[in-house]
Amino acid sequence: MGNVIDHYDGSAPTYHLQYDPDHLWQQDEYPPNFFRLQMVTRILSEVGATSVYDLGAGEASPMVSIHRDLGIRVEGSDISPEMVRLGREHLERHGLRGEALSLVDSRDAEAVSAERARRGEFDAVQALGVIPHVTDDAAFVRAMSSFLKPRGTLLLQFRNSMFSMFTFNRMTKEFILDELMAPIPQEFKDAVAADLDRRLAADLPPVRRRDDGHGYDEILARFHNPFELAEVVRAQGFEDIRFHWYNYHPTYPMLSGQFDRADYWKAQAALEHEGTWRGMFLCSAGVIQATKTA
């Protein structure tokens, strides 16, 4: 498993391109994070947040954009020194204070509590693309919660394991055997595993790899079951839990090559605000919105 810090230090210089309207559609991959940022900006506006703390803020593109669109206080932190260095420059280029972004590992409870003492409380806290990279979900939600006022809003992004039910590949097989059939005896699982090998494209998707050994599939990048993650959030003192979905797929990914890339991306983008139960299966990622009880 590669190192998360090295991975993000390496991607920091180009990370902003996925948010840049001039480059958005020139890249090799569809830009889901652009739609994620639109979604969280809309929710922050709806709940009337006047401040947001961004845990795992990257190179501050979301902070800059949210401040530009909503005019609210934005502060945050990240574990990657390169993200923080470039993020501070980015903030200053847009008239914000570079110190609004700190170097903090969310898993380090002492560092989080020192950061909380420095920053104070916020109306909202967001973590976009971060929980896939940590192992202790409850501790992560506690760290987020520590920045929130009572009745404040939590926005927690996750990679959606339910999407496996629409991919018909190796991820479907793993989801069925490891999650859906978890309480079922091994002899039944063995029969299903052998049958699924005939029905599914169990050798797909190929592992994404970069030459330096820090490709996204080589770092810790977990999927979460939305129902289980919602329970973790609830147990940390949250209510009014809602799911929001993004990164829609109009077909399962292995069919995408049959279509013109621009047409496929257009169909994906057209679905991004679909907003119904379908997102739980058509989307590879989601955001949990929840209110801190006290």
Ligand X SMILES: C[S@@+](CC[C@H](N)C(=O)[O-])C[C@H]1O[C@@H](n2cnc3c(N)ncnc32)[C@H](O)[C@@H]1O
What is the binding site for ligand X (CB under 6 A)?
A: 4, 8, 33, 56-58, 61-62, 78-80, 83, 105-107, 128-130, 133-134
Q: Is residue 112 within 8 Å of 143, Cβ to Cβ?
A: yes
Q: Is residue 286 within 8 Å of 279, Cβ to Cβ?
A: yes
Of 130 and 282, the one with the shorter C-beta distance to ligand X is 130
Taking the complex as a whole, how short is the minimal distance between the CB of residue 5 and ligand X, in angstroms?
7
Of 64 and 230, the one with the shorter C-beta distance to ligand X is 64
Taking the complex as a whole, how short is the minimal distance between the CB of residue 193 and ligand X, in angstroms?
32
Taking the complex as a whole, how short is the minimal distance between the CB of residue 4 and ligand X, in angstroms?
5
Nearest to 156 by CA among 169, 174, 173, 137: 137
Of 40 and 172, the one with the shorter C-beta distance to ligand X is 40
Taking the complex as a whole, how short is the minimal distance between the CB of residue 162 and ligand X, in angstroms?
20
| Total length of the chain | 294
Of 8 and 53, the one with the shorter C-beta distance to ligand X is 8
Residues forming beta bridges with residue 224, ordered by sequence position: 160
Residues forming beta bridges with residue 46, ordered by sequence position: none
Taking the complex as a whole, how short is the minimal distance between the CB of residue 206 and ligand X, in angstroms?
21
Phi, psi at 53, each rounded to 5°: -100, 130
Decide: helix, strand or coil at residue 247. strand
State how far the Cα of 236 lies from the Cα of 124, in Å rounded to an integer: 16
Query: How many alpha carbons fall within 13 Å on the CB side of residue 202?
Result: 14
Nearest to 11 by CA among 88, 63, 82: 82
Of 106 and 161, the one with the shorter C-beta distance to ligand X is 106
State how far the Cα of 72 lies from the Cα of 48, in Å rounded to an integer: 10
Of 74 and 83, the one with the shorter C-beta distance to ligand X is 83
Taking the complex as a whole, how short is the minimal distance between the CB of residue 139 and ligand X, in angstroms?
10
Q: Is residue 147 within 8 Å of 121, Cβ to Cβ?
A: yes
Taking the complex as a whole, how short is the minimal distance between the CB of residue 11 and ligand X, in angstroms?
8
Taking the complex as a whole, how short is the minimal distance between the CB of residue 40 and ligand X, in angstroms?
9
Amino acid identity at 248: Y
Of 49 and 128, the one with the shorter C-beta distance to ligand X is 128
Of 33 and 153, the one with the shorter C-beta distance to ligand X is 33
Q: Is residue 105 within 8 Å of 55, Cβ to Cβ?
A: no
Q: What Cα–Cα distance (Å) separates residue 46 from each residue in 70, 265, 276, 289?
A: 11, 28, 18, 12
